[in-house]
Structure 1
Amino acid sequence: MIIHSLSGPSGTGKSTSAIQFAHENQIDAIIDDGLLILNGEKVAGTSAKFEKNTITAVRRAIFQDEQHKQQVMDALEKYQVQAVLIIGTSDKMTKKIAKRLQLEPISYFHHIEEIRSTREILMAKFIRTTQGKHVMPIPYKQVEQNFFKRFIYRGFDIFSQSKVKLGETTIVQPDFHQHVIDISKNVYVDLTKYIISQYKVIAKIDAIHFVMKDYRQILYLTVFLASPVNYDVMEKMRGLQQLISEQFLRHFEFEPSSIEIRLKGILEK
């Protein structure tokens, strides 16, 4: 069996990326937070995300329980897995999991920075901090059957580059994640208004809409240019996009996925 490791700090989007990454690298199975996932579905194990505290969650994730460990080992043999991706917060953790499941040595070590952009990682961390959301790379129906009293809802479908569906995700909020920061959308809009008000070539703001969907955040701006237009409009608009991105990163530790500017007209400022 070929063993791969994917590591990165908590909340950086490892589980979100796992199914597509495994598909692209011809990896049959994924071991993530105590679960064995095959072809996008859970086939064995119990998720660490439903433990009561972080200590028991870590123990679950590294298979300290003998019965849990044996269940996953038996499933690996039953399904004749040829390659497996072990996910953890560090190489040390994935090595420990591999040793517990008698899968060592690990052949390939991958890190989240290699497969996700800095922007995607920052957004994933922001969502974890502000909303306490954790992603499980298995279908909602498989979580619902055992944990229907928990805070869970459907995530999003995972597709290959050729648009073939590879699997689904489920969003959960574990009991051990107690601290969240709630930020109203008005805060993002108000900051954007302030940034634009300081930008000399904008005469008036007509509309601002901020949309957050899954892991994408789109800022829609409709503005009037200031006359006289004796400047490079495209250059100035790119400058405004860059300024807004920098200020979002400074204040919220993430950058919008897209900033779309619509020019409605020209006015005297």
Structure 2
Amino acid sequence: MKIYSLSGPSGTGKSTSALQFAHDYEIQAIIDDGLLIINGEKAAGTSAKFEKNTLKAVRCAIFEDEVHKEEVLQAIKSHEVESILIIGTSDKMTKRIATRLQFGEIHHFYYVQNIRSEKEIRMAKYVREVQGKHVMPVPYRQVEQNFFKRLIQRGKEIFSTNQVKLGETTIVQPDFHQNSVYIARPVYLSVLDHVLQQHEMLAKFEVANLQIEGIPQMRLNLYLKSPVHYDVAHNLHKLQKNISEVFLHHFGIEPEKIDIQLKGIK
């Protein structure tokens, strides 16, 4: 069996990218947080995200429990798995999992920065650290909802470049994740208002929509001052860039979308 390792710090988007990565490298199965995933579906195991504290979650992820370990090994055997991707926070962790599951040496090592851009990693960290959301690369219907006291919601469908569905993700908020930061909507609005007030070309502005679930998105209605003796498109682009930079400075994340509609001139 060919063994692959994908590692990187917690909350950098490894699970989000796992299905696409496995497809690109023709890897049959995935080991992620105690689960065995085959063809985008949970085949065996129990997710570490079901545990009540961090210590138990780590023990689950490295298969310390004999029953858990044997269940996954039997499923690998019955599915005749020929290649597998182990996901972990470091090479040390993926090697430990490979040893625990008696896989032998890992043949290929990859890292999250090899497959995700700096911006994508920053976005993933924001969702994890600020909102306390974790991603599981399995369908919503396969996640045992009774394990979670808090958030559980559908993630997104993952498709290959030729639009073949590879699987789905589910977003959860495990009990052991305690240190989240809640940023209230008025805080985003206050920062946005401050940025817009600084732009001399604006006579009036309206925040038509501000979405703060996930990565912030916004739609702005703007009225320009008369006379218009400046490059409108250039200045609106500068405004978008300014909003992105200020959000990155204050919240650690750039907005996913900044739609601007020019409504008129005053």
TM bin (shorter chain)? over 0.9
Matched, 1:168 2:168: yes
Distance in 1, Cα, partners of 2:206 & 2:175: 43
Distance in 1, Cα, partners of 2:153 & 2:107: 35
1:26 to partner: Cα distance: 0.9
What whole-Å deviation, never above 9, does each CA across 1:47-87 have from its counterpart, x for those lacking one?
11111111111111011222222221222121111211111
Q: Percent identity?
A: 58
Corresponding residue of 2:265: 266
Corresponding residue of 2:7: 7
Letter in 2 for 1:233: V
Unaligned runs of 5+ in 2: none
Matched, 1:225 2:224: yes
Contact 1:15 1:32 in 2 (8 A): yes
Letter in 2 for 1:19: L
Contact 1:159 1:167 in 2 (8 A): yes
What whole-Å deviation, never above 9, does each CA across 1:123-180 have from its counterpart, x for those lacking one?
2211212221111111222223773766423222222222222112222221111222
Which structure 2 residues correspond to residues 50-199 of structure 1 after superposition, within 5 A? 50-144=50-144, 147=147, 151-199=151-199
Distance in 2, Cα, partners of 1:236 & 1:124: 30
1:211 to partner: Cα distance: 1.9
Corresponding residue of 1:255: 254
Distance in 1, Cα, partners of 2:91 & 2:162: 31
RMSD: 1.8
Letter in 2 for 1:47: S
Distance in 2, Cα, partners of 1:145 & 1:224: 47
Q: Quick one: structure 1 residues 30 and 123, their matched pair in 2 at CA, closer, same or farther if it must change by over 3 Å?
A: same
What whole-Å deviation, never above 9, does each CA across 1:181-200 have from its counterpart, x for those lacking one?
22222322221111010012
How many residue pairs align between the two structures?
A: 266
Of the structure 1 ranges 120-129 and 147-156, higher mean CA displacement relative to structure 2 is found in 147-156
TM-score, with length taken from structure 2: 0.93
Contact 1:189 1:209 in 2 (8 A): no
Letter in 2 for 1:235: H
1:109 to partner: Cα distance: 1.5
1:131 alignment partner, SS class? coil
Contact 2:138 2:168 in 1 (8 A): yes
2:167 alignment partner, SS class? strand
Letter in 2 for 1:264: K
Distance in 1, Cα, partners of 2:99 & 2:111: 19
Unaligned runs of 5+ in 1: none
Contact 2:148 2:173 in 1 (8 A): no
Contact 2:87 2:94 in 1 (8 A): yes
